[in-house]
Chain A
Amino acid sequence: MALTGAVRVTDAVEPPPPARGTRRGDGRAASAFLLPGAIGFVAFTAFPILASLVMSFFDWPVLGDPEFIGFGNFVELFTTDPVFTTALLNTAVFVLLYVPVNIVVSMGLAVWISPRIVGRRYYRVLFFVPAVTPMVGNAVVFGLLYTPRGLIDSVFQTLFGVSAPNFLGSSTWALPAVVLMSVWQGFGYNLLVFSAALDAVPPSLTEAAAIDGAGPVRQFFSVVLPLMSPSLFFATVLTLISSFQVFVQPYILTGGGPGNSTTTLVMYLYQSGFQNFRLGFASAIAWVLFVIIMVLTAVQFLGQKKWVHYDQ
C-alpha cells in the first residue's frame, strides 16, 4: 500500500514515459552504466543489510565464535533489557519534540522571507549555514554554550542574577538541550524546500483569494498551505526518518548521559556494537529501528491521501 503513494508522487512530478518501446541496445548500455552503482549497492548496502539480519539471530561477540540463539536478542530487548526501553522512549520524545518544532520553525522562517524582503537571498544563505556546517563542530560549540559558566550561563547570571540550569549535566534538561541544538542544525534544509515551494505558488491564486476577502492568515491556511502540501509531506517524511536515526548530537554533547537520559536507539546500537562488542544484539536493535521507521513511513504514505494535493 505504501508504494501506491510513492508511485503517485513520481507520476505527478515526472512527465509520462515516452510511448515508444525501448530501443535495441539500450538495455545493454543501461546495464553498463548501472553496473558501478549496482556493484556498490550490492557490496555496501544489500550485503551488509542481509548480514545484519543474519547476525541479529546470533550471539555474535567480536572475539570468539558466534552462536545461533534464534530470537534471543529480540526477546532480551523487549523483556529484560532496561536500557532499550529507555532508549526507545528517549527516541520517541526526541522525534515528537524535534519534528514539529523543526517543521514549524522552518515553515515560519520560509514564510517570513518569502515576500520580496530586502536581503532575502542572504537570509536564505544565513539560515542554511547551520545545515552545511559539520554537525560535530556544531555539537562541540553548543557543548561550550551549554556548559556551566558557558555563554548561556553567563548571560543568565548577568540578566537575572541566577545560574542557568546545568543543561547537559541534568537528567531533566539534557534531552531538550539536544533537541534545541538539533533544530538549530536541521531547520535550514526544510527551509529551502518550503521556500522553493512558496515561490511556486501562483500569485494569481492568492490575489484571487484576497479579492474574495481572505486575509493573510486565511490565504495562508486555505490556499498556500494546501498548494505546498507535497513539499510539507516530503519534508515531514524525511525529517521523521532522520530524527529516528539521531546519533551525533547525543554522542558528542552528552555521551548518552547523564545516566541514560539521552541514550537514543542508534546511540545504544553503537554502544552495544562498538563499545560492548555485542554485534548480534546491535543488529537486532538496528532491525527494530528499521521496522519502526518503515511502519511509520507507510502510515504517513497512507495518511497523505487525505491531506496532500498534487493538483493545482
Chain B
Amino acid sequence: MAPHLSRRQLLGLGGGAAAALALSGCGAGSSGSGGASSTDLSWFMWSASTAEVDAWKKVATIAGEASGSTITFQTAAWNDYWTKLTSQAASGQTADLVSVQSLRAPQFAQLFTDLGPELADMGVSESDFDSGILDGLKVDGKLVALPYDFGPLVVFYNKTAFEQAGLPLPAIGWTQDDFVAAAKALTTGSSYGFFAGAVPDSIIPFAMSQHGVQAVTSDGELDIDNDEWRDTLNWYRGLVVTEKVAAPLAAAGSQAAATNQFLAGNAAMNIDGPWSLINAKATAGFEVGIAPMPVAGSGSKTVSAGSGFGVSAKAADQGLATKACAGLVSVEAETYLGESGRAFPARTAQQSAWYEGNDLQDAQEVMDAMIAAAEGYRTTAKWTQVNNEWNKYAVPCFNGDTDVDEFIQQVQAQA
C-alpha cells in the first residue's frame, strides 16, 4: 500500500503544482498591461448591443490613432459592468482606461488618476466641456474622468396621447398645475398620466423645481431628512395615492421599468435623460416629445448627469494612457458619437452634431433651457446603497402602505 499511496500523493502534489502554475500563469497574463508591445492599452466600457460595441471600437480606433497606441476594447452590460469593475479593482487588475458614470464617480474615485494637472499636456481645455458634467466628474477637486456625454433629466411625453386628449403640448414655462392637470386628463382606463418611478432620478428634478434641493448637499452629505424633501415626497406620493394619476408601483423597479412603461404607452409622461431620446423615438409606437420640468416654487430646475473616461491609477504607462484618454473625448470622437446618436456630446461645440445628425432640432430649445437650469447631479460614495434602499422603501411608501417619514428614515440611514 505504501508505494501506491506515495505515488498518489506525488501525483496529487504534481496536480496541485500544475494548477498553481496555471493559475499564476493566468494572473500574470491578464495583469501585464504592458504586455508585448509598450503601446498596447486596454479600455473598459459598458455596452448594450453589438451596434454599440462597434461604435465604441470606432472610438477606440480614433483615440488609438490620436495617441499612437493600440486600444483593446473590453465590455460588459451596464449592471455587470460595475460588479466587474469592482472585482477587477479588488484584484488590482483594472484596464488602463476606465469608463465611469458621474453618479458613481465618488464611489470609484480612488481607482483613477487625477486628470486635472495633466490637462495641459493632454491638450485639453476644461472650457471646451459643459461645466456641469465636468464638475460631476470631480471628487473633492480631483478630476477622475473626462466627460463624453451628459444630459439634464427632463419630462418625456407621449405627444400622440396629448394631441388625442386635446391637451396643449407642454412647453417652456408650463407649470406644475399644468402637469397635474395633464396627468389627470391622460389617466384613462388602460393608461396613466405619469410614471412615478421609485428611483432618485425620477424625484430629484421635482425637488429641485419645488424647493431647489438635491438629495445630496453641496458639501456632499446625503440630506433628505428636511421639510423640503418631506413636502416633495408627499406631493410625489400623492400622484399615486390620492390623485391616482400614476400606477401603483409593482416592485422595486429600475429606471428601465419606467422607460418600458412609457414606451409601451402605459404612462404618458416620464422623467428621463436625452440619452434615451433616440431609442425612445425609434421604438415607441407614438410620437415622443421632451418638455422642461414644470415650473414650481423654485422655477423649472433639474439635475444633469453623464459619463466619462478616466485613466486607472494602476495603468503602467500613465503618459500614453492620458493621451489616449484625451483621444476618446477628442473633437473627432465626440462628433462621431453625436452624429451617430450614441451620446449627447459633453463638448459643447459638438452638440450640434447630435441635433443635426439625428433630426432632433425640435428638442434643442428644451435641451438648451434645461442645460442652463441644471445643476450637476450630486451623489455620495455610498450612492449605490442609497439608490437600493430608495428603490426598496419607495415602493411601500408611494403605494400608501407606509408613510414618508419611514422612507426618509431608511434612506437617510445610508448617509
Q: A-side interface residues toward B, CB under 8 Å?
A: 22, 24, 27-28, 31-32, 35, 38-39, 42-43, 62-64, 143, 146-149, 166, 168-171, 174, 253-260, 271, 274-277, 279
Cα distance A32–B90 when bound, in Å?
A: 35
Contact partners of B16 in chain A: CB under 8 A: 39, 42
Contact partners of B385 in chain A: CB under 8 A: 275-276
- Chain B's nearest CB lies how many Å from the CB of A156? 14
A255 touches B247 (CB 8 A): no
Who on chain A is nearest to B18 by CB?
A39
* 12 A-B contact pairs sorted by A residue (CB < 8 Å): A28-B8, A31-B11, A32-B11, A147-B251, A169-B249, A169-B250, A256-B252, A258-B392, A258-B396, A258-B399, A258-B401, A259-B410
A254 touches B252 (CB 8 A): yes
Among B83, B190, B382, max chain A CB count under 10 A is at: B83
B251 touches A253 (CB 8 A): yes
The answer to whether B248 has its CB under 8 Å from any CB of chain A is yes
The answer to whether B242 has its CB under 8 Å from any CB of chain A is no
- Chain B's nearest CB lies how many Å from the CB of A212? 55
- Chain B's nearest CB lies how many Å from the CB of A177? 10
Contact partners of B252 in chain A: CB under 8 A: 254-258
B89 touches A28 (CB 8 A): no
B15 touches A35 (CB 8 A): yes
Task: Using A43-B23, A169-B249, A253-B251 as known contacts, say yes or no to A31 and B8 having CB atoms under 8 A apart.
Answer: yes
Q: Point out the residue from A27, A62, A254, A279 that lies within 8 Å of B7, measured CB to CB.
A: A27
Contact partners of B399 in chain A: CB under 8 A: 166, 169-170, 258
Contact partners of B361 in chain A: CB under 8 A: none
A146 touches B250 (CB 8 A): yes
Who on chain A is nearest to B410 by CB?
A259
Contact partners of A143 in chain B: CB under 8 A: 250-251
- Chain B's nearest CB lies how many Å from the CB of A138? 15
The answer to whether B391 has its CB under 8 Å from any CB of chain A is yes
Describe B's contact surface by its main secondary structure.
helix
Contact partners of B391 in chain A: CB under 8 A: 255, 257
Contact partners of A276 in chain B: CB under 8 A: 382, 384-385
Q: Point out the residue from B87, B190, B249, B266 that lies within 8 Å of A62, measured CB to CB.
A: B87
Cα distance A39–B108 when bound, in Å?
A: 35
Task: Using A28-B7, A63-B110 as known contacts, say yes or no to A258 and B19 having CB atoms under 8 A apart.
Answer: no
Q: Point out the residue from A63, A253, A256 that lies within 8 Å of B392, measured CB to CB.
A: A256
Who on chain A is nearest to B253 by CB?
A255
Cα distance A31–B6 when bound, in Å?
A: 12
The answer to whether B395 has its CB under 8 Å from any CB of chain A is yes
Q: Mark B358-394, 1 if CB is under 8 A from A, else 0.
A: 0000000000000000000000001011001001110
Contact partners of B392 in chain A: CB under 8 A: 255-260
- Chain A's nearest CB lies how many Å from the CB of B380? 13
Who on chain B is nearest to A42 by CB?
B19
Contact partners of A146 in chain B: CB under 8 A: 250
A39 touches B15 (CB 8 A): yes
Task: Using A28-B11, A35-B11 as known contacts, say yes or no to A257 and B110 having CB atoms under 8 A apart.
Answer: no
Who on chain A is nearest to B382 by CB?
A276
Q: Point out the residue from B7, B89, B251, B388 that lies within 8 Å of A169, measured CB to CB.
A: B251
Q: Point out the residue from A42, A147, A258, A275 that lies within 8 Å of B395, measured CB to CB.
A: A258
Who on chain B is nearest to A64 by CB?
B110
- Chain B's nearest CB lies how many Å from the CB of A40? 9
Contact partners of A32 in chain B: CB under 8 A: 11
- Chain B's nearest CB lies how many Å from the CB of A196? 37
Who on chain B is nearest to A174 by CB?
B251
The answer to whether B279 has its CB under 8 Å from any CB of chain A is no
Contact partners of B388 in chain A: CB under 8 A: 255-256, 271, 275
Contact partners of B90 in chain A: CB under 8 A: 62-63, 279
A39 touches B251 (CB 8 A): no
The answer to whether B298 has its CB under 8 Å from any CB of chain A is no
Cα distance A254–B249 when bound, in Å?
A: 11
The answer to whether B86 has its CB under 8 Å from any CB of chain A is yes
Who on chain B is nearest to A254 by CB?
B251
Contact partners of B86 in chain A: CB under 8 A: 62, 274, 277
The answer to whether B12 has its CB under 8 Å from any CB of chain A is yes
- Chain A's nearest CB lies how many Å from the CB of B189? 10
Contact partners of A257 in chain B: CB under 8 A: 251-252, 391-393, 395-396
Across the A-B interface, the 5 shortest Cβ-Cβ residue pairs? A257-B392, A255-B252, A257-B252, A258-B395, A168-B251
B250 touches A147 (CB 8 A): yes
Contact partners of B7 in chain A: CB under 8 A: 27-28, 31
B4 touches A27 (CB 8 A): yes
Q: Point out the residue from B12, B83, B111, B401 that lies within 8 Å of A170, measured CB to CB.
A: B401
A169 touches B11 (CB 8 A): no
Who on chain A is nearest to B251 by CB?
A168
Cα distance A142–B410 when bound, in Å?
A: 28
Cα distance A256–B190 when bound, in Å?
A: 28
The answer to whether B340 has its CB under 8 Å from any CB of chain A is no
Chain B residues 245-262 with CB under 8 Å of chain A are 247-253
Contact partners of A169 in chain B: CB under 8 A: 248-251, 395-396, 399
Among A64, A149, A174, A260, max chain B CB count under 10 A is at: A149
Cα distance A122–B19 when bound, in Å?
A: 46
Cα distance A168–B253 when bound, in Å?
A: 10
Q: Point out the residue from A31, A39, A147 that lies within 8 Å of B19, measured CB to CB.
A: A39
Cα distance A22–B19 when bound, in Å?
A: 28
Who on chain A is nearest to B413 by CB?
A82
Q: Mark B1-31, 1 if CB is under 8 A from A, else 0.
A: 0001101100110011011001100000000
Cα distance A254–B393 when bound, in Å?
A: 12
- Chain B's nearest CB lies how many Å from the CB of A88? 17
B248 touches A166 (CB 8 A): yes
Who on chain B is nearest to A252 by CB?
B251
- Chain A's nearest CB lies how many Å from the CB of B95? 15
The answer to whether B402 has its CB under 8 Å from any CB of chain A is yes
B89 touches A63 (CB 8 A): yes
A168 touches B250 (CB 8 A): yes
